Structures are given as structure tokens and as C-alpha cells.
Chains A and B, each alone.
Chain A
């Protein structure tokens, strides 16, 4: 490529003056908010240390990473996995450090399932001897494992998985098979190329009798040369919308024999003579499942917050058109419509943050009781985590694609950072429980609670509102009322309670008409999912209000005020966008909706001066998000230009395909003239 026409040394440029101005006018101290998001000043400090280490390594921060093919992306992600483990050992990282390192790296390693699923499963599902045998091997990375559950034909309905493990009493072995094309394992991360072992879920068959799903540990690849073991066909499932650096894999098993001891026997056992015994309920697995769902709310926060940060900074730098023709071009952040794309997304990020934080602290507090299998608690926590996983990933998904579009044409560049974040995060609505299915699980639990409330039974915390009399909650009559989040919260409760009761009544009516339960359920399925969503919104608003109010004592009043504005915007935004729910339950009338709308517009103007500072507080380093539009210093155009010059297609002035295809056409027709 010829010498660049414009300066492309982006390190030497001063901070964009518009951004500087934004930062100077913020009403609160950004660092204070960053500390809250990190969990404390020391944690922020620790994060910065880890960032300095990780992001100075080219494997994590090289600008060339954008241009890799799928195969090269995988190679790079494998290198990242290796480096993180090496650093962990070398610097004696704590559990928290490891989690933070993953967060800094946006979990873009190839082998996450080894630590996130394989090792926990070895801890939970094994007998004592099995643990003693396998765990050290896994912890020391002598074997690399994954967790293979989903099949080509089944993801949601695990009971119908088709892989079989048949006990051969003569040999004291299990014989594993994936009999049909739909039975092959499909999707597990790191299964395609990296893992040497897998925990495989299969239907246990002893002497023709089925004993349900059990977990088996299988060696996939030779520990000498990594080639697949006999009877095993394994590979990568091919290109995906995002996450192309992970070797999600398929696995076909043909008469694969493993010793009887390779069935994980923590919960159930098979004896030498083929006796099957259920030792304890498999409900203990739930705690891990719930934990993963909680972590998804946390990722949803990270993806959304990072994207908002990028969009906010760019919108402060980008000038386009004018409001007042005489006053010159304005920052697009000054357009009300732009604010309405960005600020509700920002407010949602904080709402998800406070919710996630609450879920994590509840989990840590109750972990022992969850593991013990406290039924009431499990049911409640299961209902809440399912709903929050679904609603947080839904909300994040909606906002991220709108944020990408809010950047105009440049949002379509991978360099924008949001397009890639979006592609990677879009899997969250499907994995670890498909959202529609999760909402239904919560709906089932909630309807039981409605029935209990009606018969005067005691209610757990998350559904206590069902037992309250909410008929006399005051109406929203003014902008002040709208800003009273406690009042708005009450209206959410009123709405949710009535929606749930109405849904329950519909179901009941159909049952009374003599419809079998499953038909009645399917006939009202959309209504039930909607009811669970209504409840989920209430729960988010509640966590958000409690989270912000909980800071009152420890945080400066300016910051609390700034967060309250977001909290209020969040509640009103989702009230308006779900107006149907509120009107159907007479919680809000159409004319009150106008007040809700105009109050949101007031809030947009009030949030405007703090917008960049609120986004800055997310504090994702430039080398981490790699967005040319969202850099701290706002030198957007120089970075875009410099990056375009680095595009491999520009290595030569004339692309090789010119000689192959284009030249002949141009010359060929030219001679005809």
C-alpha cells in the first residue's frame, strides 16, 4: 500500500475536544461508579493489574486478530487458553482472579468448558474413588474435557436424548452408541478439536431395561498423538454466527467400549452383576445449572455495558446535521431520538447489573441449602434464575442490535466492536435453557404461588406481592408520580399480580371445561409466557430500585441522583413498551401513558450531561474492546483510517483476482469497440 495520506499514528493524538467537554461537565465522580461496578476500589485496582498483564500480550490485543480465518481464530483462542492457565499457575491466581481474567478476555478462549463444566461435573457426579482418579488429571490438564449433552435432534428435551450406554455384563463394560443421525452429540464447546475426554450423557440400558440418563466419561482422543480413538468420529460443526474461535463439535459413537467404572456413580450406581441403584436425587445438579444461568445475567451485563460505552462515546464525537441550522453541526448525542436509543440501553445495563449482583449474593448465601436440596428454596431460586436468565438475555439482545444500528454505517464495521459483540452474544437467548422454555418453567411455579396466595398460604420473598392487597395503589397523575420509583414499583406489582391471576383463571376455565391439562396449557401458552415476562420485568425493576437505594448510605448524593434517574427511566421505558400489560390490568390508563412518555423525555435531557461519564464508568480498556469507534480518546476517524490501511486486501494495490477475472472482462469487451 502507498504511504498513507493522513496521519495514522493514533497514539500521538490528543483527546477529542467533544469528549473532553463531556467528561468535564459530568455531575459525579466516574471512579466512584467504576468501583461500584467492580465491587470495590481494591477490586478495580486488581482488575487494572490483570488488564496490564493480559492486554499487553499480542495474543489478546493484537489488531490483526480481526483478520483471522476461522481456523486461525481457533488457533489464537487455544493459545489464549494456554496462556491464562500458565499465568494462573505462575502468579498463583485466586478463584476471583481467574474469573476476572476471563471477564477481561470476554471469555474468548477455546477451552472454557474444561473448567466451567467438566471439572464441576467431576466434582459433583462422581463417587469418591472416581473423584480421586479423575480430578487430579483434569486439574493438572493431563486430560482436557468437555460436557456433551445436546444432540443434533435434541437440545431442549433432554429426556429424549438418543445416545445409549448398554451394559455388557460379560465384559463388565458399557457399550456406547449414537444410533441415528439425530443422536450424535452436537454443539458442545471444545469438543471438535481440543478435548481428549468428554462426559457424555446417555440412556443407560441394562438387559434391555432403560434406567434414564446417566453420565459417562469417555476418552475421545489418544493422549499420545491426539487422533480420535477407535469407534469415535469427532469434528468441528462449522461456521457460526459468532463464537467462531470455539470448536463446538459433533461426536458419533460406534460401539465404543468403556469400563463400568467410567459411569459417574455419585448419584446412581451399577454393580458388577448389573444391578442399578439410584443413590440420591439428581436434583443436586440443579445448583450448577442455576449458577450458570446467574453467570449469563452477568455476561449479559458485560456485553450490553461494553456496547453502550462504545455507542455513547462515538455519539459524542460524531457530528451530523443540525438542530438549529445557524448553530452548526451537532453531536448526534444531542438528538432526542439518539438519546432514546442509547439511554434506555444504558439504564437496562445498570438494571441487569443490580439484578445480577443480587442473584450472585443470594446464591452465595444459600449455596449450602441449595446443595442440600431444600425443596422450597430450590423451586424459588429455580424460578427466579430461569426468568432472569431469559429476561436479561432478551433485553440485552434487543438493545445491542439497536445500538449497533445507532452508529449509522460505521456500526456495520467489525471495527465498531459492537457488531462482533452482538454476534457472539446472540447465543445467550438459546443456550442453557431456551428462553421460551424457561419462561414456561417460571410460569408453572408462579401459578402454584398464585393458588397458594389465594388459599392464604405463606409466600416466599420473590412472590410476596401476590399476597398483598394492591387494589388501592395510587394512580400516576403527574411527572412527580412517575419519578417516584416506589410508586411505579407498586404499579408493576399490581400489574404482575393481576396478569398472573388472569392467566391462572384462563387456564382454570379451560380445565373446568374438561380440557386435558396439556391441551389447556398449550392453548394458553402465549398468555402464560407473557405472564412470566411480566413478572420478570417486575423483578428487574425491584432489584434495580433496591440496588440503587442500597447505595444511599455509602455513595455520594450526586451519584445516587444520577443512578436514580436511570432507574426511573428503566421502569418507565418498560412500562411504556409493555403498556398492554398495564392497561389490561388497569394499573395505568391511556392518558397516564402520555405522562409516562413525557416524563421519559424530561429524563433524557436530565441524563444527557452525565451520559458519557456513566458510560465511561464501565471502564473497558481500549485494547480489550478493540473498537475504533469507542476508544477513550475519541480519535475515531484516524483509527478507522489506520485500520482500513491494515486490511489484508490492501497488501497489494491490485488484488490478485483482477488478473483472474476482471482484466479479461474489461479488455475483452474493450477490443469490441
Chain B
């Protein structure tokens, strides 16, 4: 949409080879047999073929089993025939598909003489290796202008009876033999491994995106002088306003919290993966549950946080030159791709619900979900004016346990009223989503606190990180104070302590605010921002980008001669009559 007017130096998430680098090659590695990995993997690595990963269709994204593209096995020629039977079956969205890729991993429903054998992945050549023209039966193109991602040719693809050899189905798990025998996978839970990994990495990416926006807004707020606090006291840096500190420092804290949660989740993934290699699968459900909701939590926090940073820059935040719109547009699809957020929360909620039921039966819960048992009994928070971090973690775990217990009892009540299981579930989903988010929030707070407590920081660093972790925890308590006062867990006077401490922390963090974002150490080229430059020469930089506006190519815009001049002349002519 912004045409040639604005090009960041580093395109972030949006460049045509992104899917080739990530999904295409990974899928071949994860789902291909050895000979397939050798053949396709090598070609892909050398960029002799450029691929993408086509899953989403015009009609279906969240519901993979609803995908309509079919692959039918033709025993006679030992080929698969891929077909998009309806308009909604067209692949839609894959990055690099429109104009760049010449090969594509296509997810399609496998049919063996009429029998449905589930979703399988196929490598489909889509463009001629000589001319780059689409191959027969292939209709492919770019999907058109988007909110962001202008540098990416997200594409559509319809296949009209396109034939590929049997060897083009990725057969590490399921297999089709030459004679058309279908062999079911031994354990398809493993297929989900790479999804979990990607979601884990999204958590950290969200933290980094927010960190970029917070860096820009904080540096700019230190440079921008606007209004007085004391009359005749001279204009202050806007970062001295308490309301501005509230906007900025909560987001700096959130950025640190999310980056840290991403690290914790990645460690967890590695631990669990190692166990899986040894054949121990019991941690898989909790890992899956945690990463699903954490991906949703972090991307939503990131999206609203970046917007807050942009608005904190006043009018200049609205310029693309501020760099913040680009960061937002680049990262906000994380709320949607790799599992739509609401759908993710509900997957986690299923797990939480099972935990509730297990607790009710008196069974033990896996370590990461252990605290869900805490809902029982009449608990009171031990939080005092010292704002002990351990007490803060306990408070978040109380909240998560209560939210999950409440969602569970709503579900039970709905069933008791005689509703079908499906309706009872649907009528409880809003609470279930909240429970999943509370679960992720508790994880994030605990991870932040543990990293501050356990890290080997210099005392000065430790002190400021403790302030930041405390601020992070207090922000949530004030935001959701209804949840924390449930059943008298926290009292009014405790909430007041929280509030007082919160304001004190804003003041305490003020001297270190710029240092805290400088520590992210983003080079200016990565921020791509006139407002967030390290050297603070904001106004010169804004002016520099303005001069480059395409409207300024000539002193008088051609549209003046085309429309404005004849228009104004017509009035002059009237006046003369």
C-alpha cells in the first residue's frame, strides 16, 4: 500500500524467501524419508529450487481437517493427481507463492480408491524451471495488497488435476506403496513437534518486536520536549510526565517479560524434546498446552503494547518514518498465523480442564500445572509492603487456578442444565479463553521472577531488573484487580499498597529508562526509525525522510495541471463573466 515510498533496510518477517528458509526446508527435513531429504533437501539448500509451504486455503485456515484440496493415487501411472475442486479449495496466503516459488509443499487430503487417508504433504513443482511460467494445470498469483508485508508475495494457487510422481509425497510417517497400499503412521503426535517449536519462537519474537517499539518511544520521549509541569519552569522531556512513564515503562517491562518467557519456553521445549527422543512422551501435552496459549498471550500483549508505544509518540508516531507502524504490521499477523489465537487458547483450555477434572479426582498434576491445585480452600495473599516477588508469583498462580476452576464449574453447570456437551463447551468458551490467558500470564511472571532471582547479575543490574519485574507483576494486578480480590484473596488495603508501590516504581525507574532500552542494543538500521535513533537527532531525520516523499519529486505535482488548475480556472472564468 505504501508503494515505493518506504523501504526498511531489514524487512523483518516479510521477504519472499522466508518460507523457503523456514517452512519448506523444515517440512522436508521433518516429514521426508532419508532419500527424500537427500534429494529435495539438497536442491532446496542450494536454492536450485525455491519452495514454499501451502496449507491455508481460501475457505479454511484454522480448521485443517476442513481443507479441500485432494490428492488421488493413480496406481496405473504411480502418480498422485492433485486437485482444487472448488473456489474455497484454492490455496491462499502462503508466503513467496505468488511470484517467487517454483516448488511447493502442498497439504492435501489423500484419497486411495475413494478412501480418505487424512492430510498429507506433497512436493508439487508449480513453475517451469526454464521459463518460470506456471506449469500446466497450475494457476498461481499474488493475493493483492495487505495491511503490511508489502515485500512478500503471499500467493494463491489452484491445481487442476496436476500429476506428481509417487515419490513426491513426504513419507516419513504415512506411506503409500507402489501398489496403492496405505501404511498408517506409528505415532502421529510427533508431527506436532515442529508446530510447538515455531510457537515457542513466536513468543520471543513478540518480545523483541515490542522491545523495538519501546526503544523508539522511550528514546523519542527523552528527546521530545512538550508542555511544562511547573508553569514558567520550561518545557520538560515528555518522559517526565507520569502518564507517559505509565505508557512506556509498562511496555519496557512487558518486552523484557515476553523475551524471557520465550527463552524459558525454548528451554522447556529442548528438555521435552530430549525426553521424547528417549521415548518419554508424557510431557508432550503440557508443553503443547503451554506453548499454544503462550503464543496467543504474547502476541496479543505485543500488539496492544506496540500500539501504545506508537500513540505515545503523538502525531509523529503516525509517520511511517517513526518505524513503529512497520514493526506492528510485520508482527501482528502472529495473532493469526501458526494457530489463530482464540483457537490456541481453547486448545490450552482443554488441557486445563482435564487438569481440573484430575484434581477433582485427587490425581497429581504435571509439574508445570501443579499450581492449578491451589484453587482449593480459603486462601489469603501474604503480600505486604515489601512486595516480595515470591508473593507476587503466588498471586498470579492463585488467579490462574481460580480462573481455570471457574471455567470448569461453568462448564459443569451448563451440562447440569441439560445442554449438550458441544453447547456447554461453547457457552463456556469466553471463560475458558480467560483461564488459558491467566495460565500464560502466571507462567510469564514466574519466568521473569525466577530469571531475576537466579541470574548472576551485577547488584546494580539486579536491582533495576527486580524493579522491572515487580512493575510487570503490579501492572497486571491493577489491571485485573477483580481477579485478585476474588474470595477476599487480596484486601482493599493490599491493592492500595500495590498502587502506591506502582507509582513509586515509575519514579524509581525513570533515571534508568533510556539505559533499559539501550540495553536491547538494536542498531538504527534494524529499528528503521527517525524517532528512535541512538543519537537522538530526531528532527533532522524526520525532515530527511520527508524530503524523499514521492510527492516532492517536483515542486508542482502533475495532478495540479490535470485537475486543480482547470478547476480553479473555471472559477476564474466565471468571475470574469
Contacts and interface: CB of A to CB of B under 8 A. Distances in A.
A, B: real partners: yes
B320 A181 contact: no
Contacts of A228: 555
Given A584-B495, A665-B47, A644 B482 contact: no
Contacts, number: 373
A456 interface: no
B559 to A, nearest CB: 4
Contacts of B567: 82, 85-86, 141
B370 interface: no
B546 A237 contact: yes
A69 interface: yes
Given A226-B556, A241-B325, A518-B229, A593 B144 contact: no
B159 to A, nearest CB: 9
B87 A638 contact: yes
A436 B562 CA distance: 42
Nearest to B300: A405
Interface string B393-411: 0000000000000100010
Interface centre among B63, B100, B139, B549 (most CB of A within 10 A): B549
A411 B564 contact: no
Q: Bin chain B's interface residue count.
A: 35 or more
A323 B46 contact: no
A649 B98 contact: yes
A240 B102 CA distance: 35
A140 B427 contact: no
A431 B146 contact: no
B134 A653 contact: yes
Interface stretch (A100-108, A300-308, A413-421, A547-555): A413-421
B25 to A, nearest CB: 15
Contacts of B233: 518
B9 interface: no
A5 B242 contact: no
Contact of A590 (B144, B230, B485): B485
A212 B536 CA distance: 30
B229 A653 contact: no
A74 B48 contact: no
Given A182-B539, A580-B478, A580-B479, A666 B47 contact: yes
Contacts of B557: 71, 74-75, 193, 247
B321 interface: yes
B486 interface: yes
Q: Bin chain A's interface residue count.
A: 35 or more
Interface stretch (A290-298, A373-381, A654-662): A654-662
B134 A239 contact: no
A171 interface: no
B2 A244 contact: yes
B145 A66 contact: yes
Given A238-B320, A329-B66, A663 B422 contact: no
A227 B565 CA distance: 12
A321 B60 CA distance: 9
Given A329-B66, A335-B426, A666 B550 contact: no
B60 A320 contact: yes
Contacts of B133: 653-654
A70 interface: yes
Contacts of B482: 576, 579-580, 583, 590, 593
Given A193-B551, A193-B557, A673-B46, A518 B231 contact: yes
Interface string B249-292: 00000000000000000000000000000000000000000000
11 contacts: A66-B144, A71-B557, A192-B551, A226-B565, A319-B59, A321-B62, A329-B66, A413-B144, A641-B87, A649-B142, A672-B46
The 4 closest A-B pairs by CB, nearest first: A579-B482, A324-B422, A69-B3, A236-B551
Interface of B: 1-6, 46-50, 56, 58-63, 66, 84, 86-88, 90, 92-93, 98-100, 102, 129, 131-134, 139, 141-149, 153, 156, 158, 160, 225-231, 233, 235, 240-244, 246, 303-304, 307, 310-311, 314-315, 317-321, 325, 332-333, 335-337, 340-343, 346, 406, 410, 420-423, 425-431, 433, 478-482, 485-487, 492, 495, 503, 539-540, 542-543, 545-553, 555-560, 562-565, 567-568, 571-572, 574-575
Interface of A: 1-2, 4-7, 66-71, 74-75, 78-79, 82, 85-86, 140-142, 144, 150, 152-157, 160, 181-182, 184, 187, 192-194, 221, 225-228, 235-242, 244, 247, 250, 319-325, 327, 329, 334-338, 340, 397, 401, 404-405, 408-409, 411-415, 419-420, 423, 426-427, 429-431, 434-437, 440, 516, 518-519, 521-526, 529, 576, 579-580, 583-584, 590-591, 593-594, 597-598, 601, 605, 637-638, 640-641, 643-647, 649-650, 653-655, 657-658, 662-663, 665-666, 669-670, 672-673
